[in-house]
Chains A and B, each alone.
Chain A
């Protein structure tokens, strides 16, 4: 009997899950050791985090507020991946969605029951418009969308800073650097968690179902995996690319609308909280699966919330980011290692 380690092309789901769990535990262990080295007490901190997060409904509500935008920005990236595109511009589309929804809310009068759906549509259109130029550039001129979507993030960020401190600055003068409070709130669903949370879950399930159970979803799958095969089968690759990328932008825009109308209630600079970029990590954790986005967003939400708690315990924000990084780092290694299995071979004759 000789024992060898062999890489397999696909990892069984049980091994993939086990690798994930081990990776997270190891990352926390490493973080704990380093924290202990700086004089903190990792066990006490961990206790605080667990108690503050899961010990009361307030903690879970906080997580829910963080998870809502993460689900959508993660879904946005995962959807674009289906057609083989990297939408790094979730951040910008998030801002554009929040901006459009705010504009509608502030300048069009009407009852909330009409205005909230209108803001939802405005958010989606805002996000879609923000990815329109990168989409057309990719579809017709083969310009790499990774760079164009990324660069437009900075434009959107600065645009929102400008309107929030300039033309749309709260005339009441109460708050600096934000718009007036929006007249319409997304109603609450559970504690402080608004209805955006269940809606985000429903949107994710809907998108996953459309991708899995429609002819269109099948064509997107083929076209995203091998554009040449789509051409061979006579599928309209360009049309699918444009539609899927716009959908990706719209989903990120909806995340922005939820955030401004459900959580923050005012448009201000920095409202995105990096949710757009964190969505990329959520999609990577979800391994491109639309439903996996829910689990990825939940994990990321818990990490973010833990970070906030740790900051109240005197850890600085860089430490928290480093722990997040460690978890992703170990997860990536774990995902790769899940492909390996130990096998036994019969004795080799020399």
Chain B
């Protein structure tokens, strides 16, 4: 956090200048849920205003109201001093309110220039591709956002795609830019670039509303912070008066200990001397035939948590798939519990005690349209009591589902309802508990805290500690360095499909790990090969 970041809110604003956005007494009800109740919010010109809250605190609903996706049940929206009602997002954009969603709304097969001009009434009726690209380049230059107009969006990195999305909103003359969890998909360097662009944008008298539940980045980027909890506003504070601890407390309503979880209790299982899982020079290809894992050698011991750090997209996903039998290794050797698993499939890994919390639970860990029961038993349907021989017993399945939901402390009103109706945090807890039941040797958790709030992340971390203390080897793939440092005994860093080095958490510095994430081979590499 720099001093300059904390002050511009108060920059040369003439007294009496109306807030760019003023929300008064906004209420929004869904059946059985108060999504927003009496929420007031004011956003001044030149301000980056952070909106902080747990999952389900009402951040998204509030922004959906401001952007015209929902209509409020009560309350007023005042833009630049004038009361407005937005029947649709189109009207909100016309009033200068633009939003960049977590999931980009771009056409992947189109070029950047085409995406920028799509559905825009200022797009000339007839124009050549070159002219369109030139126009885009001019716009990008004027708004100070570097994009490549002729590139196909599908070929861009997530950070670049986000920039295109922002440019798209800004070209519509947005004065208020709303960003929903913008850094969740970015590398630290890309996030830094984004922050620079945002500061530049507000310095011209515009405003940014920044939705997040990452405390450190909120403290870094924002001028003021509004905290929502249970659909109500808790407070709005100047960022310079806030600390991480205080914000966490405001968000969840009580103190949360996000601290060193590496310490073991007296009853914890010791770290085994022999590895429970061994990888030797494992390589793997992705669907396009490119080698995305190159000569990975790793040892995972029972009773330890091995962290895998690295910028997302450096082979972590493929590694988690190879470790669970979902993707065959092109070469190399995988040994689990002394048995060769090099050619084994996902079912064999699971049956042997390898659990897997996948990167995107709705994409592969769950069948969203099926019932909670069907999803809960996906790891144990083939054995008693859920199955008897070839037969599937629905009643026994519900019994097991109930047991898993209880362990996960998830309230399920109806086990027959589609699992997608549960909140993201509850889905993740359910998946985690389901996997913990079968993971008696190894658990592979890929980005388990993605999209979760502080409370749910904390629960997730305690689950891993519980498993570790039971003598299970846990592999935690994460992009949150803090999480890795708090939890793992050793941290391996991945870059371009290779392990740059493995550091003992106690003696590693964040700088060393950061350098390895950037592609420098660590001094620990020798140690890791010696272990082999």
What is A's interface to B at a CB cutoff of 8 Å? 2, 4, 6, 8-10, 212-219, 221-222, 225-226, 228-229, 231-235, 341, 343, 345, 348-350
Partner of A232, one of B29, B365, B368: B365
Q: Which of A9, A215, A235 meets B392, CB within 8 Å?
A: A215
Q: List 8 A-B contacts (CB under 8 A).
A: A6-B30, A218-B374, A228-B364, A231-B346, A232-B358, A232-B364, A234-B350, A345-B73
Q: How far is the CA of A348 from the CA of B418 in the complex (A)?
A: 31
| B378 CB-CB contact with A under 8 Å | yes
Among B379-387, B447-455, B507-515, the stretch that binds chain A is B379-387
B-chain residues with CB within 8 Å of residue A226 when the two chains form the complex: 364, 366-370
Chain A residues near B377 (CB, 8 Å)?
218
A350 to B378: give the CA distance in the assembly, Å. Answer: 48
| A343 close to B417 (CB less than 8 A) | no
Q: How distant is the Cα of A48 from the Cα of B381 in the complex, in angstroms?
A: 54
Q: Tell me if B299 counts as interface (CB < 8 A to partner A).
A: no
CB distance from B464 to the nearest CB of A (A): 20
Please judge, given known A-B contacts A9-B421, A234-B345, A234-B346, whether A229 and B364 are in contact too, CB under 8 Å: yes
A-B pairs with lowest CB-CB distance, top 8: A234-B347, A348-B74, A234-B346, A225-B367, A226-B367, A228-B364, A232-B364, A348-B27
Given A215-B392, A231-B326: A350 and B75 interface contact (C-beta under 8 Å): yes
Hey, which chain B residues are within 8 Å of A348, CB to CB?
A: 27, 29, 73-75
Interface residues of B (CB under 8 A from A): 25, 27, 29-31, 38, 73-76, 325-326, 345-350, 356, 358, 363-370, 374, 377-379, 381-382, 387, 390-394, 417-418, 421
User: Are A232 and B326 in contact, with the CB atoms below 8 A?
Assistant: yes
Which residue from chain A places its CB closest to the CB of B368 in the assembled complex? A226
Contact B325 A213 (CB under 8 A): no
Bound form: Cα–Cα A341–B393 in Å: 34
| A2 contacts across to B, CB distance below 8 A | 73
Q: Which of B25, B364, B369, B379 contacts A225 (CB 8 A)?
A: B369
Q: Is the CB of A349 within 8 A of B73?
A: no
Cβ-neighbour of B325 out of A218, A228, A234, A349 (below 8 A): A234
Chain A residues with CB below 8 A from B348, complex form = 234
Whether the Cβ atoms of B346 and A232 lie closer than 8 Å is: yes
Which residues of the partner chain A approach B347 to less than 8 Å between Cβ atoms?
A: 233-235
**A229 and B378 contact, CB distance less than 8 A:** yes
- C-alpha gap A216/B390 in the complex (Å): 8
Chain A positions within 8 Å of B358 at CB level: 232
Contacts of B365 in A (CB 8 A): 229, 232
Cross-chain contact B367 with A229 (CB below 8 angstroms): yes
Give CA–CA (A235, B364) in the complex, Å: 12
Complex: A8 Cα to B27 Cα, angstroms: 20
A221–B370 contact, CB under 8 A?
Answer: yes
Whether the pair A215, B381 counts as a contact (CB closer than 8 A) is yes
Using CB atoms, name the residue of chain B closest to A219: B381
Bound Cα distance from A9 to B422, whole angstroms: 11
Q: In the complex, A235 Cα to B326 Cα: how many Å?
A: 11
Which residues of chain A are within 8 angstroms of B367 by Cβ–Cβ distance? 221-222, 225-226, 229
Note all chain B residues with C-beta closer than 8 A to A4.
Answer: 29, 73
CA distance A10 to B348 in the complex (A): 36
Once the chains are docked, how many angstroms separate the CA of A343 from the CA of B350?
Answer: 45
Which residues of A sit under 8 angstroms from B374, Cβ to Cβ?
218, 221-222
* B contact residues around A233 at 8 Å (CB): 346-347, 350, 378-379
Q: Which residues of chain A come closer than 8 Å to B75, judged between CB atoms?
A: 348, 350
What residues of chain A lie closer than 8 Å to B368, measured between beta carbons? 225-226
CB neighbours of B364 from chain A (8 A): 226, 228-229, 231-232
In the bound assembly, the distance between CA atoms of A341 and B30 in angstroms comes to: 12
Task: A234 to B374: give the CA distance in the assembly, Å.
Answer: 15
Contact of B31 among A6, A212, A214, A234 (CB under 8 A): A6
In the complex, the chain B residue whose C-beta lies closest to that of A346 is: B29
Q: Is the CB of B392 within 8 A of A343?
A: no
A349 touching B38, Cβ below 8 Å: yes
Chain A residue, CB-CB nearest to B393: A213
Nearest opposing residue in chain B for A230, CB measure = B367
In the bound complex, CA of A123 to CA of B471 (Å): 58
Q: Which residue of A lies closest to B381 (CB)?
A: A218
Contacts of B346 in A (CB 8 A): 231-234
Task: Tell whether, in the assembled complex, residue A345 and residue B363 are in contact, meaning their CB atoms are under 8 Å apart.
Answer: no
Taking A4-B29, A212-B392, A217-B392 as known contacts, 19 extra A-B pairs with beta carbons closer than 8 A to each other, sorted by chain A number, are A6-B31, A10-B417, A213-B392, A214-B392, A215-B382, A218-B374, A218-B381, A225-B367, A225-B368, A226-B368, A226-B370, A228-B363, A229-B364, A229-B378, A232-B346, A234-B325, A348-B75, A350-B75, A350-B76
Q: How far is the CA of A208 from the CA of B367 in the complex (A)?
A: 20
Which residues of A have CB within 8 Å of B345? Answer: 234
